[in-house]
Structure 1
Amino acid sequence: MWAAQHEAPIYSRLIQERGDIPAQVRAVAEQTLRDLERVMPAPLPRAMPTQQTHSPALNSGGQGSL
């Protein structure tokens, strides 16, 4: 449980009365992420495009042709 419950008695009382809502939300979020990972696997990484060493648009002077 959260460390502040020892510092704030009202927090402990709320947990007793209503339950530990942040912990419940965290558990549901983690379960949702696991379910999503199961049905929607992460996409494969894209291959890096190859770099061209010579551009046909450049002439011998290094200027692009118009």
Structure 2
Amino acid sequence: MDQAEITRMANQIADYFSAYDHEEAVEGIADHIAKFWDPRMRRTLFDMMESGGSALDPLVVEAASRLAPASG
């Protein structure tokens, strides 16, 4: 899966959780990524984060930073 698709999917998750309070949103995004994204998807997300992740919603960036890259 390419970075554009990962960005689109991650930002859709953030859009869904944006109605929640901040901490619940971040936890919900992190939980969703940990449970439903395969290791290759998570690795791509972590690689994007290392490159700055500027296209990612700030909630995604915060949530992904809570996930250990070793899990990807």
TM-score range, shorter chain: under 0.3
- Please state which structure has a larger fraction of its residues in helix: 2
Q: TM-score, normalised by structure 2?
A: 0.24
Higher relative contact order (CA 8 A, sep 6+): 2
- Structure ID, larger Rg: 1
